[in-house]
Amino acid sequence: MCEINQTPQGLPKSTEDEIIHGIDFVIETTKPPFSKSQSRKYKNSILPYRRVENPLIYKLSHYWKAPPLYFTEFRDNQADIKGAERSQGVAQQNTGDFSANAKKGLSISRDRLAMVWVYLVNYLRFHEGLYNTLMDRYEIDPSFDYQGLDVVDILNDLYTVLEILAPIFNEIDVAMGILRKCESDQQIPHSWYNPPNWQDYQINSLEEYPYALQDESDIHHLTPVFIHAAVYAWDFVGYQYRADFREIADMIWYTMDEYCRVPGLSSYEVQIDQVHSDTHVDSIGGIIKFQSLS
């Protein structure tokens, strides 16, 4: 019988140019510090969390170490978000404007947030690798027969995917690092940072967002944007990989060198190979629903 590898594989690594913040958050999501039966639920207006049932006994048995803190969900409950009722339209109808979300707010579970992170790692790897490989091939031999596919248009669309999703991944990744540090420091946020006019920006153009999280950001800089970005990304990558991207990848023999797999969160061979070629979506391949996730 084949033994299943329960070790995370293909996790991204920090480099001189890019720091990865969310790995510890993702790993702990698959291995919480205590079971539900050993803990109690608590919540405030922006996040539910769990702590051990009896903190004093925990401290006595762990040499006065503070009991673990584990966030389970993240909410944007701002009542003054402008906009209409929740939209479940396609991207042409709902462009990712923060203000398009419901006045009741938006939420995402910890498990779903961690899954979005792993999905984005693979999604960005595939599209960045395909873009670079295809660009190199096109520059060497622009006359190569792509069987009717417009390689320039495909390169432009690949670049657009990366331009949209790279800032989204960064916002989610840095937020996860901040939240994990809050857990370690026993710091429970009771509100998100609410800079002026933040709802006027769009999720699919976060490179223009002046309050985007940076490597040095902390809890005082954390806005609810990571929640909106994660919901957007879930629908974006959940609509699979565009058929023409897969087709041209096969033509030039492009395959991903490495998949990110985290037991309990991922099954990516299925996701990458299943393509909704019979469904029309926008030029980026995303559907936006802005629905509450749990």
Residue labelled with tokens 């609810």: 224
Minimum mean pLDDT range among 117-121, 179-183, 188-192, 268-272: 268-272
What is the pLDDT confidence band of residue 266, given thresholds at 50, 70 and 90? Answer: low
Contact predicate 90/285, CB 8 Å: no
pLDDT tens-digit profile of 132-159?
A: 999 999 999 888 888 888 899 999 999 9
Q: Which of 7-21, 94-108, 238-252 has the highest mean pLDDT?
A: 7-21
Give the bridge partners for 73, in sequence order: 109
| Tokens, residue 144 | 């190569």
Question: What local confidence, expressed as pLDDT, does residue 97 receive?
Answer: 58
- Kindly tell me if the per-residue pLDDT of 56 is higher than 70: no
| Domain map (residue ranges) of the chain | 23-273
**Mean of pLDDT values over 183-210:** 87
- Kindly tell me if the per-residue pLDDT of 25 is higher than 50: yes
Mean pLDDT, the chain, integer: 77
Helical segments of 39-150, H only:
55-61, 110-140
Which residues make Cβ contacts (< 8 Å) with residue 183, sequence separation at least 6? 28, 68, 69, 70, 71
Q: Which residue has the higher pLDDT, 167 or 56?
A: 167
DSSP structure class, residue 101: S
| Tokens, residue 222 | 């954390």
Report the C-alpha gap between 175 and 206 in whole angstroms.
Answer: 14
pTM for the whole structure: 0.81
Phi-psi group of 105: left, alpha or beta (phi > 0 → left; psi -120 to 50 → alpha; rest → beta) = left
Question: What local confidence, expressed as pLDDT, does residue 270 receive?
Answer: 35
Question: What local confidence, expressed as pLDDT, does residue 51 receive?
Answer: 83
